[in-house]
Each structure stands twice: as C-alpha cells, then as structure tokens.
Amino acid sequence: MKHILSIVAIFGFAASAFAGCGITTTSTGKLKSYDQEAKTIVIVAEGKEIKTAVKATTKGAGELASLIGKDVTAVISKHGYAESVAAKG
C-alpha cells in the first residue's frame, strides 16, 4: 500500500512540474514599436498602449520588425510576455 501511494504521489508532483498556468489575454491593435535590444513591443489597442516582453519562444518574433504600423493580434501571458504575435487577418 505504501508503494502505491508513493507512486501516485510521484506522478502527481511530476505532472504539476510540467503544467503551465495557461492564463492568457488576446490583444488586437496596431504594433507601434519593437525594441530589439530590450526585447519589448508596444501595441496600441482601444486607445491604450500595451507594452510586453518578447522571448525567443514567442511565435512570430522573427517578423516583428516588418509588422510595425500594421494590425496585429498578440497572445499575452499573465506573466507579461507575448506567447505569439501575428498579423491580423
């Protein structure tokens, strides 16, 4: 019985170690700026500026410079970084 409980506990802890929080927001607006050195972007959505960080794992990070001034949709994690940025449409 102790072995079964130990195995169940191990799997429970292992699963929680790989789980992300998954809480995101989606912002749609014009990409105002992209600072490559600071790795940040500014999106103007509904009259407000949204500044967020960009990571190497951000989908669409390679084409951010070409999206300045265009409508984009960004999925932003509650931790303050963009998970993906893509041209709207």
pLDDT 10s digits, 43-80? 999 999 999 999 989 999 999 999 999 999 999 998 88
CA distances from 34 to 20, 41, 65 (A): 27, 4, 7
Question: SS3 for 19?
Answer: coil
User: Contact 29/44 with Cβ under 8 angstroms?
Assistant: yes
- pTM value? 0.72
Q: Tell me the pLDDT of the chain averaged across its residues.
A: 86
Q: How far apart are CA 76 and CA 74, in angstroms?
A: 6
Closest CA to 88 of 63, 70, 65: 70
Which domains are assigned to the chain?
Answer: 23-87 (2.40.50.320)
